[in-house]
Amino acid sequence: MPKSTVPYGAWPSPVSARSLTDAGVGLRSPWLAGDAVCWLESRPSEGGRTVPVRRAADGGVADLLGPGWDVRTRVHEYGGGDRLALDGALVFCNAADQAVYCVSLTGGEPLALSVAGRDRFADLSFDAPRRRVLAVRERHADGGGHAEPENALVALPLDGDGPSDGGVVLARGADFYAYPRVSPDGARLAWVSWNHPNMPWDGTELWAAALDAAGLPTAPVRVAGGAEESVVQPVWLADGRLVYVSDRGGWWNLYVWDGTDSRAVLPMEAEFARPMWVFGEADVAAVDARTLACAYTRDGLWFLGLVDIEDGSLKPVELPGTTRVGDLFVQGRTLAFIAAGPAEPGAVVTLDLDTPTPAVAKRGMATPPDPATVSTPTPIRFPTTGGATTGVFEAHAFYYPPVNAAVQAPDGERPPLIVRGHGGPTSATVAVYSAKIQYWTSRGFAVVDVNYRGSTGYGRAYRDALKGQWGVADVEDCVAAAKHLAAQGLADPARLVITGSSAGGYTTLCAVTFHDTFRAGASHYGISDLEALATDTHKFEARYLDSLVGPYPARKDLYEARSPIHFVDRLNVPMVFFQGLEDKVVPPNQAERMVAAIDAKGLPVAYVTFPTERHGFRKAESIVAALEGELYFYGRVFGFTPAGELPGIPIRNL
């Protein structure tokens, strides 16, 4: 059948915003329970509720919790580490009251292990000899207020007479804690801590201590880490040695501690961890006393491998079509994990390590995408500016061309380009199937997903290249990506758009304010005033800007110079903003002040709010409204009519 000729941006697409939320669920934290496979499933159709699900050996699938229960912790606001798999049971954090509960895998009502109220818990682990749950506790002041919460490591009894009021404190005094892990014999406890102004990818300390008769740590020793060494993901081996990931050699590599000394297991230019934005990341899992299952990344692509600790060898595990793997869980010789690829949405996968043929237990999308409409990414490197300051002259990205089997563009037309800046900013985009990206490419947009300086997965030097340069280096890289593709004829220089969420929204606002490359922008809960962020955000990120910009208020001048809100006179393109009104990370006033200033200037501007959303949109109706609203906005400002029926959004000054 011949293709129809339709201008870029107006292509009819089988990928609707509603189909993305109706057909897909988020998958994370899989585990094995005997012959059953379990996982956590986030459902946009249920308001973003996260449900533990069990798939029995006979293929039967059942929820482990009914309506009203939602597995999610708000420690650090980003959460994670909110489930603990036990023999025949599940311990979890409940979103509504932030208490810890235990439920049998065979059903029944959950039993509270903690008192609901001022405490939040995360990074759950099990102390089997003492039948207690270890956790990071974040204690908030009674009645709220602006005082920073106190973080500590605590133990909650699993078989107590009733819910514990905060648990037994095991460690306190540091600003932050993570990874409480008891050795298999129950003799020692390991954990990671760090202090302001560091973030966990800047500098952390790994500690180990003997546990006394009361189960309290004694005479802790620092195993590794410091102010300029990031240590994460400690894992005990069956023989009592401790494996961890450290970037002391410039890359997040594997090390092993024998109780006295540490040695590198496998030095290589690859990373065996990702930044600890959430608790519970598991890129390393012990198979036996000398074998590790590991997820690792090179050049933005993720792989699965088995590492022999003794001889330092790496045996790749072939997973065709997979470019992202993580959330590892080992039971005997069977591995469960989350995997995804450029044309494969995320899935829960199991693998028998003796006969390595992967089996899919659950796909994130019930119906696989049509290959004829899937745009697969190409990794690109391109020259960037500002290298004399940061020592990095080349940046990274993934380029997605417009793809739709049913249509083609008129001869000679170039596609509009959407430049995406990821959040964080200490994070990374990955080359896996993204229904949101396909929403755009199937309509005739090209997309470039930029791993600007500061992104992870490319070594510490690349990550540190953003220090002191946020709002400059990341923006230069996004601008350079757009110009690079336009120069190659892969994008229309008159229709370059930039979009981003959170920190990516800040990059967006800086790009349209301080550069003249883009013709429109979309900020999703983005930052417009760095000074306001430095004085009004949550504890985890309260000192993040010290390294990204400079110490505040000593470098108040930099905060003002890099805040788009103070330079709206330089902004001359249409803008659309999307904001959750319950956002505690980037409060709504960050968007509201920018919208008011742009409106006063007479530029086209739209502001779409979601009263019950926090930092990131979880509900189906919010996800749909944001996607459709952004497409409608681009159609109006660039003068094309998107295919299908779109609800309009109010656009001032147009």
In this predicted model, what pLDDT tens digit does every residue of 308-367 receive, in sequence order? 999 999 999 999 889 999 999 999 999 999 999 998 889 999 999 998 789 999 999 888
CB atoms within 10 A of CB 1: 5
pLDDT at 144: 55
Q: Is the pLDDT of residue 389 over 90?
A: yes
Q: Is 488 left (phi over 0), alpha (psi -120 to 50) or beta?
A: alpha
Where helices occur in 318-422 by DSSP H, the ranges are 387-390
What does 184-231 look like in DSSP terms, one character per residue? Answer: TTSSEEEEEEE-TT--TTT--EEEEEEE-TTS-EEEEEEEEEBTTB-E
Give the Å distances, CA to CA, from 234 to 188, 394, 459, 643.
13, 33, 20, 51
Q: Which one has a higher pLDDT value, 441 or 48?
A: 441
DSSP 105: T
Stretch 464-479: mean pLDDT: 98
Handedness of CA 602, 608, 611, 614 (dihedral sign): negative
Tokens found for residue 106: 């065979």
Please state which CATH class domain 4-15+394-638 belongs to.
alpha beta
**pLDDT category, 106, cuts 50, 70, 90?**
confident
Question: What tens digit of pLDDT does each residue of 27-69 get?
Answer: 999 999 999 999 999 998 888 899 999 999 999 999 999 999 9
pLDDT at 23: 63
Stretch 378-387: mean pLDDT: 95
CA angle at residue 508 from 10 to 631, to 5 degrees? 20
Give SS3 for 637.
helix
Give SS3 for 329.
strand
pLDDT at 145: 57
Task: Report the alpha-carbon distance of residue 497 to residue 420 in Å, rounded.
Answer: 9
Q: Which residues pair with 610 in a beta bridge?
A: 580
pTM of the model: 0.94
Tokens found for residue 511: 């790009």
Q: Which residues contact 632 (CB under 8 A, 6 or more apart)?
A: 642, 646, 647, 648, 649
Task: Report the alpha-carbon distance of residue 133 to residue 351 in Å, rounded.
Answer: 28
What end-to-end distance do the CA atoms of the chain give, in Å? 40
pLDDT at 292: 98
Distance from the Cα of residue 399 to its chain's centroid:
20
